[in-house]
Amino acid sequence: MKTFVPKFVWFDGKFVKDDEARVSVMTHAIHYGTSVFEGLRGYWNSKNLYIFRLQDHIKRFRNSGKVYSISLRFTDKQIADAIIGLCKKNNVRESCYIRPFYFVGQYGINLHVTEKSPTHAAVVMFPFGDLFNKNGIKAGISSWRRIHDISTPPLAKMGGNYLNSILATQGV
């Protein structure tokens, strides 16, 4: 997939240019994977962009953070407005992928995350056509196993939970 840098992103309640959305290298999420994300698809039909199950995705988005006591400091309506507004601001005229996420910010090197830990929220989006090649896909069995739900809850869409999937796609 080629790299796409959107003109605008939504960061902590404002539409900003991508290179203006910055965080410290002391951001907790960089050190410990304390990030929550969601993945939505927007489908373009030559006239309008339709975002698939927006409210359901936002509900799951918020609930994923609750598993780890990470607070989303924006209402569901604010997140929905951010997603829709970002697609409009970037003048999307093709199918796209939309990635809202929130994460623990500057919080030191500790594991005591609570609902009061400082968080940031953002939404990015980029063009994204078909997920799979229409001519078929290759599949295989990885020697890596999915994380077990008694060690790390896979029901939460957390950044750190996907490291296991990276190993599986590397064919190790």
CB 75 within 8 A of CB 83: no
Burial classification of residue 151, based on how many CB atoms lie within 10 Å of its CB (0-12 exposed, 13-18 middle, 19 or more buried): exposed
CA 125 to chain centre: 10
Please identify which of the residues 14, 59, 89, 157 carries the catalytic annotation: 157
Can 66 be counted among the known catalytic residues? no
Half-sphere exposure of 100 (CA within 13 A, CB side): 31
Cβ atoms of residues 158 and 36 within 8 Å: yes
Amino acid at 94: E
Cα-Cα-Cα-Cα dihedral sign, residues 64, 125, 57, 88: positive
Q: Which residues are known to be catalytic?
A: 157
